Amino acid sequence: MVLGTSSGAGKSLMTAALCRVLKRRGETPLPFKGQNMSLNAWVDQTGGEMAYSQALQAWAAGLEPQAAMNPVLLKPRGDSTSEVIHLGCSVGNARAEHYYRDWFKPGWAAIRSGLAELQGRYPGGRLVLEGAGSPVEVNLQPRDLTNLRLAQYLRARCLLVADIERGGVFAQLVGTLALLRPVERPLIRGILINRFRGRRELFDEGRRWLEQHTGVPVLGVMPWLEELFPPEDSLDLLERRGRKQGAELTIAVLRLPSLSNFSDLDPLEAEPTVQLKWIRPGEPLGRPDAVILPGSKQTLRDLGELRGSGMAETLRTYVAVGGQVFGLCGGLQMLGTELQDPEGLEGCEGRSTVSGKIEAGLGLLPLRTVFHGEKTLRRRSSRALWPGSGLELEGFELHHGRSECTAHPLCSDEGLGWWQSSGYQGGTVAGTYLHGVFENGPWRRRWLNGLRKRRGLAPLPENPIHHGRQREALLDRLADAFESHVNLAPLLAPGPTEQP
């Protein structure tokens, strides 16, 4: 098990690295996070919903992602409630103050079922577990579902990760170990220092001090990697502020309060000629080459934020003078003319009618969206109709709302959830329900080349590799660094009371 001294310490990526290293050694690593809280989701081949970080770990392990790898997923709604996903299926909403009272036993049952499913499917596999947050939150320890309770249940050998970049690494580690119960302390087999800048020898004295004062070996010091890895949560987006050398296009991405599935933008981050500029509603938009409205867990609330901050009018003006806007899932819904919430799924404060509550959209696409309780969850493949036509697309849908055209746009494929319309002075508004659309390299380049043409820039080749292959190369480089800087032997070797 990979534990961390805090959220954001690097557990997800270290777990992915460990999975790739074990795969290289001929093992079958089985990534597993009992409970995750995330708005960055993935849909498996059977339509099960899971956290994207466990999908990434599955790819690192050479396996197809499956919801059993993340049997409990909590998706915050922004009002002290979260949607609860068990084994890929939505089972209700929970208030924070009642979660452990109402959902602890069902959650533990889902975790055990997920373990049984994985171990049944891969009987020779080795579980590689990821913890959540800190394992020693004393007010939560008796009800902890995914850290030390799971480690004790499986007698897992634990690696404790601390992020030195944040400062206070010695206090993080000593404090975490001091708060462990005596029965838990032997589970910790080693310490990993993450995100160290400079030569490793500069930490030799710190390594010796930690080992002397804790009695736990420091198994490695991972360097600060210049590679751009997927963020573990939306807070990590704040670190994406660097200016790319050689960037020729600037694409603004609205950092919505209920931003979700921001991994959709990773392929654009990986484009060397593209600079993504994350903008909060109310901040100056400037004159980017395009604007992306990403996914949202609370579409109507984020729409209200756009309207209240003045960003809605800014976007309409931007399109009127030739701007390019692209909406993904919830962002697509906001671009329409009308959004109806008859069941109150979104907590909408719009005007009431016999058909429920209604909010006006941004009015940039002729779409009407109605929110339904049944969630659309499915893998999709289709041919693109815009820009151009005929390119193969793969991705997944994950949404409550269903949209329909209220007028005839230039291009539409309601089966795929794909709309496009042109405005004044060459402005274009488009969108899709297809998550992962930018992973499709030829389509991504065709869209970017349309932006480049407007700037008088030469087109990029339209035959790049799929982003999945780029992700594979990135995981290999991560594993190379992990193998170079971490001694896994104490973690993998059974102890005196364990079976090999």
**466 included as an active-site residue:** no
Handedness of CA 221, 231, 27, 148 (dihedral sign): positive
The span from the CA of 331 to the CA of 431, in Å, is 8
Is 435 considered catalytic here? Answer: yes
Inter-CA distances, 123 with 27, 64, 117, 371, 481, Å: 12, 16, 10, 42, 29
What does DSSP say about strands 324-328 and 428-432: parallel, antiparallel, or unpaired? Answer: parallel
Strand 126-129 vs strand 29-32: parallel, antiparallel, or unpaired? parallel
| Residue 94 β-bridge partners | 82
Which is catalytic among the residues 329, 348, 399, 400? Answer: 329
Phi-psi region of 47 (alpha: psi -120 to 50; beta: other; left: phi over 0): left
Residue 67 and residue 492: Cα distance in Å, rounded?
Answer: 26
Could you tell me the two tokens for 225? 């990697």
What whole-number distance in Å separates Cα of residue 398 and Cα of residue 396?
7
- Catalytic member of 399, 400, 435, 485: 435
At 233, the amino acid letter reads: D
For the annotated catalytic residues, the residue numbers are 329, 435
